[in-house]
Amino acid sequence: MVSIAVIDYDMGNLHSACKGLENAGAKTTVTDSHVDLAAADAIVLPGVGAFDPAVQHLRSRHLVEPIKAAIASGKPFLGICLGLQILFNGSEEGTEPGLGIIPGMVRRFRSEPDIVIPHMGWNTLSFKQTELPIWQGLGEHPYVYFVHSFYVDPVDPQIRAATVTHGSQEVTAAIARDNLVAVQFHPEKSSTAGLKILSNFVSLVATKTRSAVAV
Would you name the residues annotated as active-site residues? Answer: 81, 186, 188
Of 86, 60, 81, 57, residue with least CA distance to 71? 86
- At 175 the three-state DSSP class reads strand
Task: Quote the CA–CA distance of 142 and 126 in Å, as a whole number.
Answer: 8
- The beta strand positions in the chain, using DSSP E, are 3-7, 27-31, 42-45, 77-80, 88-91, 102-108, 119-124, 126-127, 143-148, 150-154, 160-166, 169-177, 180-183
CB 197 within 8 A of CB 134: yes
Is residue 35 packed enough to be buried (19+ CB in 10 Å), middle (13-18) or exposed (0-12)?
Answer: exposed
| Cα 66 versus chain centre, distance | 17
- Gyration radius from the chain CA atoms: 16
